[in-house]
Amino acid sequence: MTTDLLEIRNVVSGYGPTRIINGIDLTLPMGGGLALLGRNGAGKTTLLCTIAGRLALKEGSIRFNSAEIGGFSPSQRCRLGIGFVPQERQIFATLSVEENLRIADLRRGWTMERVYELFPRLAERRKNGGSQLSGGEQQMLAIGRALMSQPTCLLLDEPFEGLAPVIVDMLLEALIKLRKESEMSMIIVEQHAKLALEIAEQGMVIERGQVRVSGSRESLLQDWTEIEDMLAVTH
């Protein structure tokens, strides 16, 4: 029997008095992967920030490992096993790769050596400052730093945004490897919907802060013309 790691019920959140997420339900099993899809402004990043504790929960429930965490701070959620890689990456530009990783080192399962094995480019540039890295290398570092916090659930916000195709391929390969070789659950927000579905076996399309459709990778790909219409930019 599959055990649920993350359970969200009737979640409402947003900025100030504005509601962006309007009653979303979501369940993520242990070791499961979910691609969170939708147009710009649909509420995908808002939902990730709410799960990570960066936005306050207005209504509803967030349970992680069966514990209610709706009132927990971001640092408390991180210690419980929720890792967050924000769209802005937020690495320390004046610190080296090694120093950025050491900040999050809890000296348990994920070590710098394991991160370097997943991202060999970081090993080559371990003494370089964050500001000296390319956009792709900064993204690798942001993911590596999140892994050093020993997450059981990794939240990724637009990991491929603005990156060259060759770097996207490298990151995609690393994330697929991470899913296969660990029991880590993952929620990935990504405009490149089919890439996200290569990583995650489940998908969910959000529209105006509500779930429009959800299902397995296979079912979404089977109805891809309809899904593309939901994701298409309208003017």
> Mean of the pLDDT values across residues 156-180?
93
> pLDDT category, 177, cuts 50, 70, 90?
very high
Eight-class DSSP state of 6: E
Cα–Cα distance measured from residue 56 to residue 77, given in angstroms and rounded to the nearest whole number: 13
Q: What amino acid occupies position 21?
A: I
Domain boundaries, the chain: 1-81+189-230
Radius of gyration of the chain (CA): 17
Burial class of residue 122, CB neighbours in 10 A (0-12, 13-18, 19+): buried
- Tokens, residue 176: 């697929």
pLDDT of residue 109: 64
pLDDT of residue 209: 92
The answer on pLDDT for 233 being more than 70 is no
The CATH class of 1-81+189-230 is alpha beta
pLDDT of residue 235: 40
> Mean of the pLDDT values across residues 118-142?
91
Contact indicator for 35, 193 with CB cutoff of 8 Å: yes
pTM for this model (two decimals): 0.91
> Mean of the pLDDT values across residues 56-82?
95
> pLDDT category, 106, cuts 50, 70, 90?
low
